Structure 1
Amino acid sequence: MSPQARRDDLIRAALDLFGSRAPELVTVDDIVACAEVSRPLFYRYFSSLRELQVEALRTVTDGLIDRLAGLEEGPPPERLRAAVRGLIDVADSYRAGYIALLRSGSVIATSETNAAIDRVRNRAVELILDALGVTEPSPLLLLTLRCWTAVVEGTLLSWLQEGAVPREDLDGWLVDQLAAMLAATAAHDPTVPVVAAAQ
């Protein structure tokens, strides 16, 4: 196995373990047992458990960015629904890692992981502006879109932890939330475009 493949394997092992317990409760011994490697080999690739935790959580944010990178063409509501479905898929795949990444007060949170989260948020705002055909957003529009990304994050955290809402209802509901927020903002700023509610 190549060095990069071995490193990726250790990250996968950590993410697998995050699926059953909080990242801060996963030890080096847990990871090497899951990956079927020795402790010395672990430290050949990672200087500390913290470094592996950060790399594993970056894998989650990279997955979110990748799902936002190339989206289908079509009317704004459909493009936005596709984006939200992609985010739901990644959050569900890396359930515990996603929760740890966004949970307030997580011991795994660092300036590095916070910067990675900001990359996801900024990409989401860029995507919406592109879908709306807006190249020079007003301050109120930017504020609206940033607030909506917070709604998406809060919704996904609650859904992952509680599962009270059926998965198939989430994307349409979240796009409807954006449509309502844009309509409210347009009442104060006529340059703000509106989108139709999801069907």
Structure 2
Amino acid sequence: MTVPAGPRRMSPQRRRAHIVAVALELYRRLPPERVSVEDVARAAGVSRPLVYRYFGSAEELHAAALEQVVDELLAALVVDPGGDLLADLRTALDVFLDVVERHAVGYVALMRSGSVLTWGQGGVQRVRSHIESVILRRIGDGHRLAVVGWIAAVETTCVLWLQERPMPRAAFRDYLAALLVAMVGVTVQR
């Protein structure tokens, strides 16, 4: 585990952050729904009741961890409204793929079938809405159908790419950028 054990005495904010960091580290190896409060407590070097003091359930812990990842991702997905659209899209995709790769096991679990449990829906929707609004501010609301479809395609193909790696990351990023251009091109023709 790369998250070092914290000092015995921590402020409540630091203790909570430490527990979330440990949970995120565990999610790199196991889907969140397979990580128990006991697993997190053991890895964090704290008691199970202490984890429950900060998080009322495993779902609350999962949601807090996901929210941290979402907050980091949204803070990093900032584009220059006057910049080159395609270059900005590639940069934003690099940021997104950094997060997806760093949290690959959790991402795949979250995006698969029923894994977007109630604790994950809000965070996933925040990312979708943010990406949609950033793109539509640049290209116009008339392309919403294409953008929403593209976001769904990105989520699905990221799962496949993480599992099979059919192409290098840079080629995959460029593929995703070209896919958006093509989808928007279809809406322009309609």
The alignment's TM-score, normalised by the length of structure 2, stands at 0.87
CA positional deviation for 1:62: 2.0
1:20 aligned counterpart, secondary structure: coil
The one-letter code matched in structure 2 to 1:71 is V
Q: Structure 2 counterpart of 1:47, which letter?
A: G
SS at match of 2:70: helix
Q: How does 1:84-163 map to 2 (within 5 A)?
A: 84-106=93-115, 109-110=117-118, 112-132=119-139, 134=140, 137-138=141-142, 141-163=143-165
CA distance in structure 1 between the partners assigned to 2:110 and 2:71 by the alignment: 12
Q: Residues 159-198 of structure 1: matches in 2 within 5 Å?
A: 159-188=161-190
- 1:193 corresponding residue in structure 2: none
Whether the 8 Å CA contact 1:79–1:131 is kept in 2: the answer is no
3-state SS in 2 of match to 1:172: helix
What amino acid sits opposite 1:183 in the alignment? G
Give the number of equivalent residue pairs.
180
Find the aligned partners of 1:97 and 1:62 in 2 and give their Cα distance.
16
Counterparts of 1:65 and 1:71, CA distance in 2: 11
Q: Which runs of 4+ in 1 moved over 3 A?
A: none
Equivalent residue number for residue 6 of structure 1: 15
Q: Secondary structure at the match of 2:56?
A: coil
Which shifted more, 54-63 or 87-96? 54-63
Question: C-alpha deviations, 1:131-152, integer Å up to 9, x for none?
Answer: 33x3xx22xx111110001111
Higher relative helix content: 2
Q: How far did 1:128 drift?
A: 1.2
- Write the distance in 1 (CA, Å) between the matches of 2:48 and 2:117: 24
Structure 1 residue 60: deviation in Å?
2.4
Q: Which amino acid in 1 is paired with 2:165?
A: G
Once residues 118 and 180 of structure 1 are traced to their aligned partners in structure 2, the CA distance between those partners, rounded to angstroms, is 24
Shift in Å, 1:116: 2.0
Unaligned runs of 5+ in 2: 1-9
Q: Which runs of 5+ in 1 are unaligned?
A: 189-199
- Percent identity, aligned pairs only? 39
Which of 45, 48, 66 aligns to 1:39? It is 48
Q: Which letter maps to 1:83?
A: A
TM-score, with structure 1 as normaliser: 0.84
* RMSD of aligned residue pairs (Cα, Å): 1.6
Cα deviation, 1:169-195, whole Å, max 9, x if unaligned, reads: 12211111111111111110xxxxxxx
CA–CA distance in structure 2, aligned partners of residues 23 and 58 of structure 1: 13
